[in-house]
Structure 1
Amino acid sequence: MPTVLRIGAFRFYFYSHEPNEPPHVHIDRGEATIKVWLEPVGVAKSRGFRAHEINEMLAMVEANHALLLEAWHEYFG
């Protein structure tokens, strides 16, 4: 479960057993979690985050899109 990025209390990471899915990132803060597709950026599923927090995380993904997508391709090939 490689961590790719940390922003404040948010941890951005991949699960190593998901190479056959489209590029995405998981983001956790405490017990809350969200899975975000990278192409195009959008919510796959979310648990525990409020709507304004989800919008904030989508903006963080957009701002770091190149880094996250590059990390995905480096990790999964």
Structure 2
Amino acid sequence: MSSLLRWRGYRFFFYSADGWEPPHIHVVKDGKEAKIWLNDLNLAVNLGYSAKELNEIIRKTREERGIFLEAWHDYFAN
């Protein structure tokens, strides 16, 4: 899947094979990656981000959550 959002160097996206899992978003920057569940905004995976970076990522995910969920459901509808 192409990027849903690029913000401050972060790329927000999901993989095309992710449809079997609950809705979530992957966030990458500078070789680091996080995975955030969209239903409750809990962190599923953190590979290298600091607490400060994660707070920033989760805050932005909360702001864009509706758009991310809409894209998820549109993509995985079939």
Give the TM interval when normalised to the shorter protein: over 0.9
**C-alpha distance in 2, partners of 1:41/1:52?**
16
Q: Per residue, is there more strand in 1 or in 2?
A: 1
TM superposition score normalised by structure 2: 0.94
Q: Which residue of 2 aligns with 1:48?
A: 48
How far apart are 1:44 and its partner, in Å?
0.3
Residue pair 1:2, 1:16 contacting (<8 A) in 2 also:
no
Superposed CA offset, 1:13-70 (max 9, x none) = 0111110100000000010000000001110011110011001100000011111110
Aligned length: 77
Q: CA deviation at 1:3?
A: 1.1
Equivalent AA in structure 2 for residue 19 of structure 1: G
TM superposition outliers: structure 1 runs of 4+ over 3 Å = none
Question: Contact conserved, 1:38 with 1:65, CA < 8 A, in 2?
Answer: yes
CA distance in 2, matches of 1:44, 1:2: 21
Q: Which runs of 5+ in 1 are unaligned?
A: none
Q: How does 1:51-70 map to 2 (within 5 A)?
A: 51-70=51-70
Q: Percent identity?
A: 38
Provide the TM-score with structure 1 as the length reference.
Answer: 0.95
Distance in 1, Cα, partners of 2:42 & 2:60: 12
**Code of the aligned partner of 1:3:** S
* Residue 2 of structure 1: how far off its partner (Å): 2.3
Q: Which runs of 5+ in 2 are unaligned?
A: none
**Which residue in the other structure is 2:25 paired with?**
25
Distance (Å, rounded) in 2 between the aligned partners of 1:65 and 1:55: 15
